[in-house]
A and B are shown apart, each in its own frame.
Chain A
Amino acid sequence: AQSVTQLDSQVPVFEEAPVELRCNYSSSVSVYLFWYVQYPNQGLQLLLKYLSGSTLVESINGFEAEFNKSQTSFHLRKPSVHISDTAEYFCAVSDLPSNTGKLIFGQGTTLQVKP
């Protein structure tokens, strides 16, 4: 069975500092990986995804994630965070065996950006 583990429940960081949110997955088949962000009182929004090809994927707001098959990781990074990046971040894997597209999520990481 596939699973996702987000290693940090909360990550406090000062504005303009770099940040890494860690995500490890477990799967016996090929994986499709996603990062979703949930801002306060809003629905989840896709931040970026890895399906195939380049192992480094980027979002439009400066986040990037690297698929590392040997370490079964998909960590999310940003070189300089803003106050507006404060949100809950969820790593997810697509449940390929079911072919429905259902997502298996990690527990989430709260990013708290301080001024």
Chain B
Amino acid sequence: DTGVSQNPRHKITKRGQNVTFRCDPISEHNRLYWYRQTLGQGPEFLTYFQNEAQLEKSRLLSDRFSAERPKGSFSTLEIQRTEQGDSAMYLCASSSGTRPTETQYFGPGTRLLVL
């Protein structure tokens, strides 16, 4: 069990560019979550996968954002035409089991800076 990993850890990009982040959950965890954390705030939910199905998306997730989880393993979060307001820490978490109260294990996050 190596924990949840995220890549890259840091990303600096220019406004208007596309970026993609990757999350590798703990092996065999069927639930996967993406959150966004801005400076001085707690994480905010973005989207949720159960296996390969994306079952919920926050209204924070505009049409410039897309997430996938092919084959129910790793997940990617893509932001198109980045804006300065997208600058934040993007967190991935995974959990196992059938109950929504199972512990979520978080990755270290990807810090995005849009110039």
A residues contacting B by CB (< 8 A) are 4, 6, 9, 32, 36, 41-46, 49, 51, 90, 92, 94-96, 98-108
Contacts and interface: CB of A to CB of B under 8 A. Distances in A.
Given A43-B4, A46-B103, A100 B43 contact: no
Nearest to B34: A102
B42 interface: yes
A36 B103 CA distance: 10
B55 A107 contact: no
Contacts of B41: 107-108
14 contacts: A43-B106, A43-B107, A43-B108, A44-B106, A45-B106, A90-B43, A92-B42, A94-B100, A100-B48, A100-B50, A101-B95, A101-B100, A101-B104, A102-B33
Contacts, number: 70
Contacts of A104: 45
B28 interface: no
Nearest to B58: A102
Interface of B: 3-4, 31, 33, 35, 40-45, 48, 50, 55-56, 91, 93, 95, 99-109
A41 B108 contact: yes
A103 B31 contact: no
Nearest to A9: B40
Contact of A96 (B33, B100, B107): B100
B101 A51 contact: yes
B103 A100 contact: no
Given A43-B3, A49-B103, 8 more contacts: A43-B106, A46-B105, A96-B100, A99-B100, A100-B48, A100-B56, A103-B43, A105-B43
Interface centre among B4, B42, B44, B50 (most CB of A within 10 A): B42
A42 B105 CA distance: 12
Contacts of A106: 42
Given A43-B109, A51-B101, A108 B42 contact: yes
